[in-house]
Structure 1
């Protein structure tokens, strides 16, 4: 079972979020680091699949539509986490860590289990 490795898209990339996640040993890179700036959403998902990374984005509508289209065509993606821009960096980090950590601890989802799945960051808040 592999750990979830994150890929921050152009909308969600933030140096503060990136540093906070890396300080907590999350394997995360940005589109800029991958040399994928200004590429289409489909190209981003294809790159993420080839590199076994779950994409994190605020682009809910487009990525959810793309998820549905890919599945209808019998194609795959490595997984998508959709967040909201109104979350602070701290809130994004806490929710992402909760999602990654809880999925790992209770083995609900590994990186393999995230394949072709969409998780909404809003579901991973404080209980």
Structure 2
């Protein structure tokens, strides 16, 4: 089974990427890729280009961006919106997962 690759945007503390790496995930940050200052849409396109799910705290914009992508036939590798999450632990976080090629939003609990 293929592991999920994670790409964190500027809304998340870099500690999130570090914790994911410690847990065996392939994770990288906007800073590591030199993408600081890119728009949300550019971040999502870039994450897809490297085969990664985008992780963000930006619950204001990404649901809309997801639906705009789907509406226009664009695809991405997924968006994981982390709410009420302690970066250093990622335990008991409540998340909204936007899976590529799906129109629905799934609410999941994340415990890493």
Give your verdict on TM over 0.5.
yes
Question: Over residues 53-101 of structure 1, what are the superposed CA-to-partner deviations in whole Å (9 max), with x where a residue is unaligned?
Answer: 00000111211100000100011111000012x32124425659xx9xx
Check the 8 A contact 1:95/1:121 in 2, yes or no.
Answer: no
Q: Which has the higher contact order (CA 8 A, sep 6+)?
A: 1
Which runs of 5 or more structure 2 residues have no equivalent in the other structure?
none
Which has the larger strand fraction?
2
RMSD: 2.8
What TM-score, normalized to structure 1? 0.71
SS for the counterpart of 2:90 is: helix
Which has the larger helix fraction?
1
Q: 1:38 to 1:46 in 2, by over 3 A?
A: same
What TM-score, normalized to structure 2? 0.80
Q: Distance in 2 between matches of 1:11 and 1:41?
A: 10
User: Which residue does 2:109 correspond to in 1?
Assistant: 124
Which runs of 5 or more structure 1 residues have no equivalent in the other structure?
100-113
Q: 1:26 to 1:93 in 2, by over 3 A?
A: farther
Alignment of 1:60 with 2:45, yes or no, is: no
Q: Distance in 2 between matches of 1:60 and 1:54?
A: 15
Q: Distance in 1 between matches of 2:88 and 2:109?
A: 13
